[in-house]
Amino acid sequence: MSYGSRVRFADRSTPPHVLTLVLVASMTALTMNVFLPSLPAMAAHFNTEYRVIGLAVSLFLAVNAVLQIIVGPLSDWFGRRVVLIASITIFLFATLGCIYAPTVESFLFFRMCQAVVATGMVLSRAIVRDVVPMNQAASMIGYVTMGMSLVPMIAPALGGKLDEWFGWQANFWLMFGFGVVLLALVLTDLGETLHTRKARFSEQFGGYPTLLSSYRFWGYALASAFASGSFFAYLGGAPFLATNYFGLEPATMGFYFGFPAIGYLLGNAFTGRFASRFGINRMILWGCLLTVIGLSLHLAAYLAGLRDPFLFFAFFTFVGLGNGLVMPNGAAGLVSVRPDLAGSASGLGGAIQIAGGAALSALAAALLGEGSTPLPLLTLMVSTALCSLVAIIVVLLRERQLAGTPGALP
């Protein structure tokens, strides 16, 4: 029986509706992106420097990565539903704290507490794996991620308008309203999907050595981390190049920055349509190859003297397309290495991905300075994409080896 035929909306005895999972997965993207245009106004409000209020981004990411490691074992022990409800509740109180914070220090504290939305991304993938088989899970995660990918495309523009009309606090009221709606959806539509739990919490952390000793886990984790790392490197370096190398105005820059999002949407749509037919490993391999080929052509075009800004940014569609193929299939692979540790695997894999991506973003920014050309950024992105390709090849080789050695460790 297909997933859709088993779903009845607002019936917790059936699997959750895909819309509920999309909104659960979108928590992090909205919380991360919608307030970015408000950072200058927030710095003025708290009478602090921009670099201080900028910690609202980096501290959020740091806590997010740590929480992804913890959330998985918690959900494998307590269950998905109760952990998700508790996380959304904490998020709502933290958001009110951000709105009414009297000082920048208290604001940053509550902003770190908002990082509990990491639960949404981790558990949306684990819930999918709870209710459908592995290849079907990749397809469904693709649809969930495709819906979620719309959020970072529209959130900054919406946040900028809300700031213009009502002030920076309006963005956090939007987050609060989103959280209230999401809590209502989870309470009414999402029943418990985990039916076999570990007796002790320590057993879930005890499973980490098993995951970390698995070639396939590392292959999926690093393929995803390096694939997303190419995109994070783009985020770290492209704004600088747009302003200082190409001399683009903000409106034009915003238009060009939509190319990776278009590719990401198409990649996730392709995953949703074909992952069940072709299998997750082939989809990841295709995603890595497309990214390597696209970025290599981009580098060759630059070295050949093509300096048109439209062409420069259009090539980054390949990065988004590759990510749309790699990320949902990599997530399905992570949680399928050891299905009994699906939550732990999702959280640990997500932490590796975010930490690696953040490091590559910082490296891209560090490579660029006064008078820099696009060459350092393109070289870094090609190298990162090649690492992603090597990682999935390791998975393919390991699975071939396992096929000839029944009972071997994954």
pLDDT digits (tens, 9 = 90+) for 289-323: 999 999 999 999 999 988 888 888 889 899 989 98
Q: Which residue has the higher pLDDT, 227 or 331?
A: 227
Q: What is the pLDDT of residue 254?
A: 58
Give the pLDDT score at 236: 66
Question: What is the band of 196 on the pLDDT scale with cuts at 50, 70, 90?
Answer: low
pTM for this predicted structure: 0.69
* pLDDT for residue 234 is more than 70: yes
How far apart CA 264 and CA 281 sit, in angstroms, is 18
Whether the per-residue pLDDT at 249 is higher than 90: the answer is: no
Which pLDDT score is estimated for 89?
Answer: 95
Query: According to the model, what pLDDT value does residue 55 have?
Result: 72
Query: Between helices 317-337 and 280-303, what is the axis angle to 10°?
Result: 150
Q: What percent of the chain has pLDDT over 90?
A: 22
Q: Which helix (H) or strand (E) holds 399?
A: helix 375-403
pLDDT at 158 (0 to 100): 77
Amino acid at 89: T
How far apart CA 195 and CA 45 sit, in angstroms, is 48
Q: Are 193 and 127 in contact (CB under 8 A)?
A: yes
Query: 45 or 343: whose pLDDT is higher?
Result: 45
203-207, 246-250, 372-376, range with the lowest pLDDT: 203-207
CB 335 within 8 A of CB 342: yes
Query: pLDDT per residue over 125-158, tens digit each?
Result: 778 777 776 666 666 766 676 666 667 667 767 7
pLDDT, position 2: 52
Mean pLDDT score of the chain: 80
Tell me phi and psi for residue 114, to 5 degrees.
Answer: -65, -20
Mean pLDDT of 367-377: 81
Q: How far apart are CA 115 and CA 59, in angstroms?
A: 9
Q: Looking at residues 275-290, what average pLDDT do you find?
A: 88
At 210 the pLDDT is 75
CA-derived radius of gyration, the chain:
21
Q: Is the pLDDT of residue 250 over 60?
A: no
Task: Please indicate whether residue 172 or residue 50 has the higher confidence score (pLDDT).
Answer: 172
pLDDT of residue 246: 83
pLDDT of 404 higher than 80: no
What pLDDT sits at residue 295?
Answer: 94
| H-helix segments, 167-279 | 169-189, 201-206, 208-212, 215-244, 250-256, 258-278
Q: What domains can you pick out in the chain, each with its CATH number?
A: 1-206 (1.20.1250.20), 207-402 (1.20.1250.20)
The average pLDDT across 266-289 equals 85
**Which tokens in the block code for residue 30?**
């909205």
Q: Which amino acid is at 62?
A: A
Q: Provide the pLDDT for residue 3.
A: 52
CB count within 10 Å of CB 100 equals 12
Between CA 84 and CA 254 the distance in angstroms is 34
Tell me, what's the pLDDT at 20? 81
pLDDT of residue 71 exceeding 70, the answer is yes
In the chain, % of residues over pLDDT 70: 79
